[in-house]
Structure 1
Amino acid sequence: MGFIEYKQKGYIGIITISRPKVLNALNISVLNEMNRVLEKVDIKTTRCLIITGAGEKAFVAGADIGEMVNLTRSEGEAFGKRGNDLLRKIEMFSIPVIAAINGFALGGGCELALSCDMRICSDNAVFGQPEVGLGIMPGFGGTQRLSRLIGLGRAKELIYSAKKINAEEAYRIGLVNAVFPLEKLMLEAEKMATGIARNAPIAVRYCKEAINLGIEMNIDQAITMEETLFGKCFETLDQKEGMNAFINLSRNKNFINK
């Protein structure tokens, strides 16, 4: 595929957006290609995804302004829906998704990062929703996910002012989970993904489902849903093997201690 590279490393899938000459800007082709890549990910052999950008300057510097400049109202709405459909697919994807943010994450790039389960970034990363400076607004979920993640006041400040923040500030306000030197970013992303991948995959998928759906329910509905998913875990081989292994290990330790 032209703009999306996919690589499998053990149980980890790595998606790289590769338009480095335009700082990996999102256009229709990129959105369509990423959608096709996600549809081909085999969750039986892949337990965690990492999304990053090609090069050392940008994760994704935004949507492609050249492609948007002459859009009509209906075309703009359709472009927003295409982006939102993809980002919602990432957000609700069966397995965890980590954004490894290697530079600029502006506009649609910041929104892409927000759709991932976790975000880690390089120390040269820059974040922002600068759309109002271009006469538009965030159109790929930025007005919704950013406020849910960092709170209404901070989200409104960033969106209304179109200001950019650095990696340190992004970490301080909870936009990212961790900051690393650029040269160590992918190593740390793979380390995080490996830590997730070594756990029971069905249980991890149920956890993601419970968190993502539960946040949109009232607490009583969410707890009921959690109970159902908790019960479903007891139908899995992972539960049988995991608990029996724990019991056997505990017995062996007690025997040794005696």
Structure 2
Amino acid sequence: MTAAAQLADLELDSLRLEVAEGLLTVSVHRPEVLNALSPLVIAELREVFSLLRGRIGRSGDGAADDAPDWSIRGVILTGSGERSFVAGADISVMRDQSRDEAAAYAADAQELTAWIETLPVPVVAAVNGFALGGGCELAMACDYILASESASFGQPEVALGLIPGFGGCVRLQQYVGIAAARELILTGRRIDAQEARELGLALRVLPDAAALLDAARESLRASAAQSPTAVAAAKRTVRAAQALPTDRGLEIERQAFADRFGTPDMLEGTAAFVEKRRPSFPGA
């Protein structure tokens, strides 16, 4: 059974899943609380992304002749409705947590964001409305962020006597630089979509939620037309080299580049280029 087929069997209360043309759209669906990131939402997102990371690009049962599963070639992460992507962690739940419960909550959320970040296929955050606190942290775990004009971003945890705990202290500075990250975290200031784009947090700003989803699908379709193993290797290499000195990053890139030679996808891609035809990548 493919990953796409397995997703259809999941029973989820707070998420809506849609698979079309090899693209999975995951929508957080708690409109009554602006899609707040409750423990249930985190648990269900973990269920979805655990399934994906266990299946995408891997054979079904380990048999030598079993083809890798590339039934999902990209993921859009978004929120239901136009008011909110994910408004933040569920404060009504957090208020009564003990220190140990909070540590476990953060550990689950951080592991989830690591699974999103390391998925072999691109994951795009389509941010419509609020992406605050845990919502901003969830979006930053994706490969890039597209935003509607109504989007707003922030890490307002200091106003609650807290700090970001789902990756905000780490990933925000990777997006916007250390000074801007410090200012946003230390003040809790909220920024709109245009400022998010100017700072480098959002890649593009679209007029509304419909245009936002169209742009996310168009971007992922472009990636899905390429070699899936090359896309996975490129994503892995960019992440591995991200915080390294230039010489070490170049070493990692050089090895990853050499590892592509002789693979079925590389042989098909280069042959198709020489023969002036569309490649048909085997995904291996």
Normalised-by-shorter TM-score class: over 0.9
- C-alpha displacement of 1:242: 1.1
Q: Distance in 1 between matches of 2:111 and 2:51?
A: 17
Counterpart for residue 23 of structure 1:
34
Counterpart for residue 146 of structure 1:
172
- C-alpha displacement of 1:233: 1.4
**Which 5+ residue runs of structure 1 have no aligned equivalent?**
251-258
- C-alpha displacement of 1:83: 0.8
Q: Distance in 1 between matches of 2:107 and 2:186?
A: 22
> When the two structures are superposed, what TM-score results if normalisation uses the length of structure 2?
0.85
**Bigger mean CA offset, 117-126 vs 222-231:** 222-231
Q: Distance in 2 between matches of 1:221 and 1:28?
A: 39
Give yes or no for contact 2:145–2:202 (8 Å, CA) kept in 1: yes
Secondary structure of 1:223's partner?
A: helix
- C-alpha displacement of 1:40: 2.4
User: Which is helix-richer, 1 or 2?
Assistant: 1
- C-alpha displacement of 1:15: 0.9
Give yes or no for contact 1:6–1:37 (8 Å, CA) kept in 2: no
- C-alpha displacement of 1:5: 1.7
**Which 5+ residue runs of structure 2 have no aligned equivalent?**
1-11, 57-69, 278-284
User: Structure 2 matches for 1:195-214, cutoff 5 A?
Assistant: 195-214=222-241
**Bigger mean CA offset, 230-239 vs 109-118:** 230-239
- Verify: 1:36 aligned to 2:63, yes or no: no
Identity of aligned residues (%): 38
Amino acid at match of 1:194: R
Indicate which of 75, 78, 88 corresponds to 2:114: 88
Amino acid at match of 1:61: A
- C-alpha displacement of 1:181: 1.2
- C-alpha displacement of 1:224: 2.2
- Verify: 1:243 aligned to 2:270, yes or no: yes
Counterpart for residue 163 of structure 1:
189
Q: Distance in 2 between matches of 1:151 and 1:26?
A: 26
- C-alpha displacement of 1:8: 1.2
User: Structure 2 matches for 1:60-99, cutoff 5 A?
Assistant: 60-99=86-125
Give yes or no for contact 1:168–1:179 (8 Å, CA) kept in 2: yes
Amino acid at match of 1:131: E
Counterpart for residue 133 of structure 1:
159
- Deviation per CA, 1:95-119, whole angstroms, max 9, x where unpaired? 1110000110000000001111010
Amino acid at match of 1:233: R
Q: Tell me the number of residue pairs that the alignment of Structure 1 and Structure 2 aligns.
A: 250
> When the two structures are superposed, what TM-score results if normalisation uses the length of structure 1?
0.93
Q: Distance in 1 between matches of 2:147 and 2:85?
A: 9
Counterpart for residue 217 of structure 1:
244
Q: Distance in 1 between matches of 2:242 and 2:235?
A: 11
Indicate which of 211, 214, 220 corresponds to 1:184: 211
Counterpart for residue 59 of structure 1:
85
- C-alpha displacement of 1:143: 0.6
- Deviation per CA, 1:34-89, whole angstroms, max 9, x where unpaired? 11111223422112111000111000000000110011122111111111111111
